[in-house]
Structure 1
Amino acid sequence: MSSPASDVPATSAGQRAVVIVAAGTVLALLYVGREVLVPVVLAFFLSLLLAPWVRLYRRLGLGHGLSVLVAVIAFVVIGTGLASMMGSQVVHMARGLPQYEATIRGKVTTLREMTLGRFEIMQGEVGKVINQAEGTLPAAPSAPEHPSASPESPASEAGSVHRPTTPMEVMTRVLSTAWIPLQTAGIVLVVLVFVLLEQESLRDRFIRLAGGSDLRATTAAINDAGARLSRFFLSTFSVNFGVGVAIWLGLTVIGVPNAPLWGCLTAVLRFVPYVGVWMVAALVALFAAAVTPGWSLLVMTLVLYFVVELVVSQLVEPFLYGHTTGLSPLAVVVSAIFWSWLWGPVGLVMSTPLTLCLVVAGRHVEGLNLLNVLLGDAPALTMPQRFYQRALSGDAHEILAEARSFLKRKTFAAYGDSVLLPAMQLGRIDLMRGAISREQQNVLRDAVVKVVETLGHDRSRWSLRRMRPTVLDDASIGRRLRQMRVDVAGRWQGSLAVAPGTLVLCVGLGSVVDDLATEMLTRVLRDLHIDARHLAPDDFAAFDAEPHPEATPDAVSLAYVVSADATAERADCEAMSATLRQRMPGVRIVALLLPEPLVTTDAVVPLGADFDAVTRSLEEAAQQAIALFPADGAGLTPH
């Protein structure tokens, strides 16, 4: 009899097998049922495009059924008109192709002479050199023996191909060719009408099936999907229509024939992400090369497409909807390949909205969260998680790149509050669990030191100094950073002969995160031209053990006690505040209590009466210091 522990791997393996079989079954059903699923899905997507028009007609006083009928008829009329126009343009282009034959042959000959012709000449010269080196001459080619031509050609023996001659035969052949597209269009229209008529009922049924007991979550998912898809269809359709019109007018101006056809193709294929518009551009460029003997029309065509696409992608689309489809660029490309393989050209055009539906489902259904992580555009890791992961890998350069981007929008104190210190809390949790090795600790410490040293205001003083191995190699990150300032400014990080009330003490309680937070606060205050000094609890005894005749009495006006775990360090906080109050009775003492690990809300920790204020972040602590010092900088000491 197997133990429960031994059943766990089998169970997980069985679950993975079920997931694989289910995924394979779904793919098989999508592929086998594509003849039915493609028209139905296309009808649902078209209903999202026509739904705003139906609501508009209903607000104008038309009934629901009449509004649907008007919207569908207008859609059919516009679609039929565009299809007829494109068909006539194709026929016109086909009739004009023979007159471009001479131009095409001339340009093919020119290209051959410029490429293969030169290669053949070079090959012939190389062959002569090789033959001369070998001392042989090429043998004269013998005249080929041509067999006598048969009096009867094979074509005459094969017989003539039967071509329809009667009107009935012509009509039958046309209908057999157009039957499948007409059948698909009919299914789409029928399903579209009933989807628009039963839109509210379908939504209620979906809510009942998806989560009748949790109406809030299901409604949020439906609203999210509807808003994203409607925004995608309306904005993309509007932009693509405008691009098609711009290409139509531009090609007409530069003289490319059949400009309406190319404009419509551009508008349709632009639904294919990234490559659709350039496929049409290449086709139009080839056609332009066949129209005129020169190459100027081809160049102007490519320039037109490049300018229009550049303006639309960089100016118009960000202004309208900011590329907020919710999909990553890689997901868009992969989805286009996948859906085109599964459903052909229609799947290629519908790839983005189909994938967007999967992302929305993954965002609101816990079991499908994998789809949101793989296909969505939201970062897979938070900024503190990315900082911690890259610091464990020793990748300080990537951390600095993200930090500089962050600092363009916010302050160094905000970076410490929202990124660096939460990342160190993650490291503290791993350290408490014993999940981080000594080597990883060293790599993490070196990376964080390099990042803070580079970003800090004081980096110009010692960033070029080579860091040599010292006894502080095993010290915490905060103490190593403080030692860099001590090496430059002296044991007490500056002169003790200062104006009264101009010093600010930042005292950590000794843990790794406490020391780093204290050093961060010190650097933030020094960036504000406030003379802040980073002290540890044992520095007070060291200060008393040495004579300091130059020290200014009452030099300290503000003192911070920094704790990253106020619940566990409450006694140490109160003891430090009592020490500071005894040594400096007139000093304002502020507690900086940072968020504790694995705690989502700020815990209310009662502190002793020696504290004058409590802050929860580096930014708030900096605001406390700014409020205590005059704006004109009187009493502030330079670095």
Structure 2
Amino acid sequence: MPTTPDSQPYASASQRSLTLIATGVVLALLYFGKDVLVPIILALILALLMAPFVRLLQKMRLGHAYAVMIAVLLLATIATGLMMVIGSQIVHLAESLPQYERTVQAKLQLLHDLTIARLEAMRGEAGKVINAFGANGSAGQVPQTQVAPPYANAVDVSVFASPWNAIRSVLSSLWSPLETAGIVLVVLVFVLLEYESLRDRFIRAIGGTDLRATTVAINDAGERLSRFFVSQFSVNVGVGLAIWLGLAVVGLPNALLWGALTAVLRFVPYVGVWLAALLAALLAAAVTPGWTLLLLTLGLFVIVEVLVSQLVEPQLYGHATGLSPLAVVVSAIFWSWLWGPMGLVLSTPLTLCMVVVGRHVRAFTLLGILLGDTPALTLPQRFYQRALSGDADEIIASARIFLRQRSFARYCDTVLLPALQLAQTDLAQKAISPEQLVKARTAVIRVIESLGREAPSQPRWRRRTSVLDDDNLAHYLRQQRENVAGRWQGPLAVAPGSIVLCIGSGNRYDDVATEILVRILRDLRIDARHVSMQDVEDFQAEDHPEATPNAVSMIHIVNAAGAGGWVSGEAVAREIRKRFAEVVITAVLLPHLLETQEPSQLGADIDRVAQSFEQAAQFTIEKFA
């Protein structure tokens, strides 16, 4: 049965309902199945990381099963050793806690005296003043002094458990992680044993007949995850070593524990290292009566973390994950809400996998756009979108950032001209409303005026009406120059060969591109002037005794309509050659959107061909060098 236009809204509403239901079902499965999914996903991620090591062992002529067992045993040994170090340090710390009871009590009492006691004293003085104002006829009465009980200002300090109770508590709390670790190791062994088979099944299930795209996606995910985790592991181990050595130097007990804890917790994005710093600072506050050790501990964490995050990490892997910072934060919140602390640790690799899938699988493109660090819009698209919104200030700010490293000509080639061509396409299709057209025209004029060296002749509030009335951008921008420098856009008595003329090849879009080229050249302090063939005829027909003979040395004929629009440009070139026999004539053939080919025949009147504003500017600079 064919779909009628009336049934389309109902179909779209039904599709949205199915999408919402499917999303709810997936979230429910993720939440209630976390006890099963977390070990499996962790094992899959570890398999991606360990597969290259397994292949390396196989190249050493070890069997596949033996290579898998050696790799898993090595991983288990490293993890067990780390846990034993942390556990022994925790036991030693638990045995030492009773020694710090008096120091903790003294510091809590000091904090109480500096905060709560002072607030209570201030409240008592304020009460006396209020009672003095309200005591009418009660001056002879002796006020009743309330005696606080001896335990009012005492600080309640918890009683420290015995070492055996601490060990029992630690073991009970570690039982669940140990159980999860055992499941992960078992699943990891079978995943590595069937790694190739699982990859083939995944390609068949996801990619179907498009084996190339799916293979690229899997390789990309493996490379990104491996590069990210190897870099992160190296950095975290280095941070742990630095914290261990630094705390040992300043004299904090159990420095090895805090170094190992920092290395482990730093896998938790953003908050892990500061959690380790908080725990170490609490111990530093309990060890010595003063505050020097606490300040040194916090200072060490701050210095190490700032140096690593600002200097080491950007150089080592920077944005190698391909994730936007906001995506990392949001994913950490989302996965920790679903799966708790383990979800917080797995949030970055899970999000990275989704971004890679979104980049290579068309059905999940939205994930790559929302979570990746690739800009959602190109620079021309951003320019055009901001122009339609009338947001010229943001365009100018973005352009000034671009111009810090590149030239004005390059900006016009890569951003301004493609954006104007996008607008030209929408205008031809009548896809722009009159209000949007007014906003875009005004924004483009402001941008061009702001980026060039030429200052407008009138303030913005006086120019607004004329901007809206004149729909020819090139005519308006040229008129601004004529208002300042006269009809011929500058003096006529100039040095011989110092003027460059720029002429459009036939339509108003060529005129806009010509005006842009003029401003590029004038920004380079070249006396460029925007004229038409009618202007040339009028100038030669009039009498200008002050004009310098042979003042023009170069003429640019600008075509912005692509290779197919050069027919009128050829006629302009012939007419120019008749009037200026000795000048250098350059055909500036600007690409139209994705078109870059040259016209088949340019004619004998053209001396040089430029295919961009930047190339035309370079030719001009070479002429005047």
TM-score (ref. length: structure 1): 0.87
CA distance in 2, matches of 1:346, 1:125: 52
1:614 to 609, 614, 624: 609
CA 1:173–1:96: 2 relative to 1, 3 Å:
closer
1:225-264 C-alpha deviation (Å, 9 max, x unpaired):
1111111111111111111111111111111111122112
Deviation at 1:189, TM superposition (A): 0.7
1:126 paired to 2:126: yes
Q: Name the stretch that deviates more: 442-451 or 282-291.
A: 442-451
1:548 is aligned to 544
1:191 aligns with 2:187: yes
Q: For the Cα contact (< 8 Å) 1:493–1:533, is it kept in 2?
A: yes
Return the match for 1:404 from 386, 400, 404: 400
The answer to whether 1:100 aligns with 2:96 is no
1:240 is the counterpart of 2:236: yes
Say if 2:623 is the partner of 1:628.
Answer: yes
- Partner of residue 54, structure 2: 54
Indicate the residue corresponding to 2:202 in structure 1: 206
2:575 alignment partner in structure 1: 579
- Give the partner amino acid of 1:199: Y
Report the Cα distance in structure 1 between the residues aligned to 2:558 and 2:85, rounded to whole angstroms.
Answer: 75
Q: Output the CA distance in 1 between the equivalents of 2:591 and 2:450.
A: 25
Shift of 1:390: 2.1
- Counting aligned pairs with the same residue, the percent is 59
Query: Is 2:213–2:361's contact at 8 Å kept on the other side of the alignment?
Result: no
SS at match of 1:8: helix
Establish whether residue 229 from structure 1 lines up as the match of residue 229 from structure 2: no
Aligned to 2:529: 533
**Which amino acid is the alignment partner of residue 343 of structure 2?**
G
| 8 Å contact from structure 2 (residues 494, 548) kept in 1 | yes
Q: Deviations over 1:313-348 (max 9, x none)?
A: 111112211232111111111111111111111111
Distance in 2 between residues matched to 1:381 and 1:180, nearest whole Å? 46
Name the aligned partner's letter for residue 448 of structure 1.
V
The residue identity in structure 2 corresponding to 1:77 is T
2:571 maps to a residue whose letter is A
1:306 is matched with 302
Q: Deviations over 1:447-491 (max 9, x none)?
A: 3233222321334x8698985467565153333332332223221
Aligned mates of 1:409, 1:600 — CA distance in 2: 26
State how far apart, in whole Å, the 2-side matches of 1:624 and 1:178 are.
73
Letter in 2 for 1:412: F
Q: Could you tell me whether the CA contact under 8 Å between 2:285 and 2:293 is conserved in 1?
A: yes
1:319 corresponds to which letter in structure 2?
A: Q
CA distance in 2, matches of 1:457, 1:515: 20
Q: Deviations over 1:51-109 (max 9, x none)?
A: 33323333334333222222211211121111112112112212222221111111111
Which residue is equivalent to 2:66? Answer: 66
d(CA) in 2 for partners of 1:212, 1:305: 50
Counterpart-to-counterpart distance in 2, 1:172 and 1:131: 57
Structure 1 residue 291 corresponds to structure 2 residue 287: yes
- Structure 1 partner of 2:373: 377
Any conservation in 1 of the 2:39–2:183 contact (CA below 8 Å)? yes
Indicate conservation of the 8 Å contact 2:252/2:284, yes or no: yes
Q: How far has the Cα of 1:179 moved from its partner?
A: 5.1
- What amino acid does structure 2 have at the position aligned with 1:422? P
**Equivalents in 2 of 1:501, 1:172: separation in Å?**
94
- Cα gap change, 1:385 to 1:67, in 2 (>3 Å): same
Q: CA RMSD in A?
A: 2.9
User: Which residue of 1 is the match for residue 444 of structure 2?
Assistant: 448
Separation of aligned partners in 2, 1:246 and 1:177 = 28
1:258 is aligned to 2:254: yes
Q: Deviations over 1:176-205 (max 9, x none)?
A: 876543332221111111222222222222
* Alpha-carbon distance between aligned partners in 2 of 1:471 and 1:255, rounded to the nearest angstrom: 75
Question: 1:163 — aligned with what?
Answer: none
Deviation at 1:412, TM superposition (A): 0.9
Task: Sort the Cα spacing of 1:470 and 1:341 in 2 relative to 1 into closer, same or farther, 3 A.
Answer: closer
Question: How far apart, CA to CA, are the structure 1 residues paired with 2:330 and 2:278?
Answer: 22
The CA distance in 1 between the partners of 2:293 and 2:223, in whole Å, is 43
Q: Which shows bigger deviation, 175-184 or 85-94? A: 175-184
Aligned-partner Cα distance in 1 for 2:558–2:601: 15
- Which amino acid letter does the alignment assign opposite residue 298 of structure 1? L
Aligned to 1:335: 331
Q: In the alignment, residue 12 of structure 1 is paired with which amino acid?
A: S
State the secondary structure of the residue aligned to 2:115: helix
Quote how far apart the aligned CAs of 1:571 are: 4.1
8 A contact 1:510–1:536 mirrored in 2: no
- Structure 2 unaligned segments of length 5 or more: list them: 149-166
- Asked if the contact 1:48/1:233 (under 8 Å) is kept, the reply is no
- Aligned partners of 1:2 and 1:71: how far apart in 2? 59
Q: Distance in 2 between matches of 1:132 and 1:9?
A: 77
- Counterpart residue type for residue 528 of structure 2: A
Q: Give the Cα–Cα distance (whole angstroms) in 2 for the partners of residues 471 and 465 of structure 1.
A: 10
What is the identity, as a one-letter code, of the residue corresponding to 1:377? D
Residues 566 and 605, structure 1, Cα contact 8 Å, conserved in 2:
no
**Aligned-partner Cα distance in 1 for 2:355–2:464:** 51
Aligned-pair CA distance for 1:603: 6.6
In 2: Cα distance, 1:368 partner to 1:76 partner: 36
2:478 corresponds to 1:482: yes
- 5+ long unaligned stretches in structure 1: 145-170, 632-639
Structure 1 residue 140 displacement after superposition: 4.3
| 1:454–1:463 contact (8 Å) kept in structure 2 | no
- Of 340-349 and 584-593, more deviation after overlay is shown by 584-593
2:352 to 331, 342, 356: 356
Superposed CA offset, 1:283-313 (max 9, x none):
2112211111111111101110011111111
8 Å Cα contact 1:421/1:513 also seen in 2: no
Q: Is the 8 A contact 2:497 2:553 kept in 1?
A: yes
Judge which range, 76-85 or 386-395, deviates more. 386-395
Instruction: Give the Å deviation of 1:567.
Output: 5.8
Specify the SS of the correspondent of 1:494.
coil
Equivalent residue for 1:366, pick from 351, 362, 366: 362
The aligned amino acid for 2:71 is A
Aligned 8 A contact 1:510 1:537 in 2: no
Segment drifting more, 536-545 vs 27-36: 536-545
Q: Which residue of 2 aligns with 1:281?
A: 277
- What displacement does 1:515 show? 2.8
| Residue aligning to 1:91 | 91
CA distance 1:512–1:376, change in 2 (3 Å):
farther
SS in 2 for 1:21: helix
**Inter-partner Cα distance in structure 1 for 2:263 and 2:28:** 32
The 1:422–1:19 alpha-carbon spacing in structure 2 relative to 1, beyond 3 Å, is: same
Q: Among residues 509, 513, 516, which one is paired with 1:517 in the alignment?
A: 513
CA distance in 2, matches of 1:230, 1:534: 57
Which secondary structure does the structure 2 equivalent of 1:350 belong to?
helix
**Once structures 1 and 2 are overlaid, which stretch shifts more, 63-72 or 420-429?**
63-72
Match of 2:268 among 251, 266, 272: 272
Q: Cα gap change, 1:575/1:467 in structure 2, threshold over 3 Å: closer, same or farther?
A: farther
Work out the CA distance in 2 between the residues paired with 1:175 and 1:239.
29
